[in-house]
């Protein structure tokens, strides 16, 4: 029999896994979910590595393998939209216009391609570092560098919000953080800043993230 409250998150890499472990799991558990997570597999010859979304066929296979478990109530994802494989459903047919519409289009196409009502595809707009941008004050405090917060606030204001800071190869949030924060350790400093901001703070600053939480909350009410 399926566990009606088992939520599994398939994540892109170490940083995402840390954020799930230290920030999101607690929130989902308080909502009533039993939470598990795993990092996407990368195969090289006979060796299996973890981390990195390299192609749609590999990702499709892993999602289907996870959904083969009859105990799973909901499977969702934590992948960056920035750098998402170009062969994934919806990527070649993204509409013109705002970034949010493009991300939602790809998410809907992923759901259609998998064809399982338990699957809730989610892409971070544009990448997990946009959540760090939402936590700019917290990052600046951790680094004892108020200038970091000023730069991040200016970028967010110009873009219209943390999730709208663009996905240009030179100016994606991760690239900006590398410039603003010499020696920045993404697997440590980013998750710490996000944890300090907290889920509700992140929800208030990131509408796409908020919509994802709302969808998962509604699923819990239906299972």
Query: pLDDT tens digits for 158-198?
Result: 999 999 998 788 899 999 999 999 999 999 999 999 999 99
**What is the rounded CA–CA span in Å between residue 14 and residue 113?**
26
CA 81, 164, 207, 105 torsion-angle sign: negative
| pLDDT for position 54 | 86
| pLDDT for position 46 | 44
> Would you state the CATH architecture of domain 6-125+206-222?
3-Layer(aba) Sandwich (3.40)
Radius of gyration of the CA atoms of the chain, in A: 17
| pLDDT for position 164 | 96
**Residue 119 scores a pLDDT above 60:** yes
The reported pTM is 0.92
Give the residues across from 36 on adjacent strands. Answer: 8
Average pLDDT of the chain, as a whole number: 92
What is the enclosing helix (H) or strand (E) of 119?
A: strand 119-120
CA 148, 151, 153, 159 torsion-angle sign: negative
pLDDT band, very low/low/confident/very high, at 220 (cuts 50, 70, 90): confident
**Residue 4 scores a pLDDT above 80:** no
Beta-carbon count within 10 A of 69 CB: 13
| pLDDT for position 170 | 87
What is the enclosing helix (H) or strand (E) of 48?
A: strand 47-50
SS3 string, 50-119, reads ECCCCCHHHHHHHHHHHHCCCCCCEEEEEEECCCCCCCCCCHHHCCCCCHHHHHHHHHHHHHHHHCCCCE
| pLDDT for position 47 | 44
Specify the domain boundaries for CATH 3.40.50 within the chain: 6-125+206-222
pLDDT band, very low/low/confident/very high, at 223 (cuts 50, 70, 90): low
As a whole-number percent, the residues of the chain with pLDDT over 70 amount to 92
* Predicted confidence (pLDDT) per residue in 16-55, tens digit: 999 999 999 999 999 999 999 999 986 544 444 455 788 9
| pLDDT for position 160 | 96
């Amino acid at each position: 029999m399926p566990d009606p409250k088992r939520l599994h998150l398939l994540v892109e890499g170490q940083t995402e896994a840390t954020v799930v472990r230290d920030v999101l799991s607690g929130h989902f558990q308080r909502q009533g979910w039993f939470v598990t997570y795993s990092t996407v597999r990368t195969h090289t010859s006979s060796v299996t590595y973890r981390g990195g979304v390299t192609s749609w066929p590999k990702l499709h296979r892993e999602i289907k393998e996870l959904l083969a478990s009859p105990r799973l109530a909901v499977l969702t994802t934590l992948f960056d939209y920035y750098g998402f494989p170009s062969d994934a459903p919806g990527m070649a047919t993204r509409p013109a216009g705002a970034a949010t519409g493009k991300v939602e289009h790809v998410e809907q196409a992923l759901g259609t391609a998998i064809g399982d009502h338990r699957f809730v595809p989610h892409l971070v707009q544009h990448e997990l570092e946009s959540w760090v941008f939402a936590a700019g004050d917290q990052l600046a405090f951790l680094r004892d560098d108020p200038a970091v917060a000023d730069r991040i606030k200016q970028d967010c204001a110009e873009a219209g919000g943390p999730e709208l800071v663009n996905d240009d190869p030179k100016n994606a949030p991760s690239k900006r953080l590398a410039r603003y924060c010499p020696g920045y350790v993404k697997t440590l400093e980013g998750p710490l800043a996000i944890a300090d901001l907290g889920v509700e703070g992140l929800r208030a600053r990131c509408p796409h993230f908020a919509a994802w939480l709302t969808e998962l909350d509604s699923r819990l009410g239906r299972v």
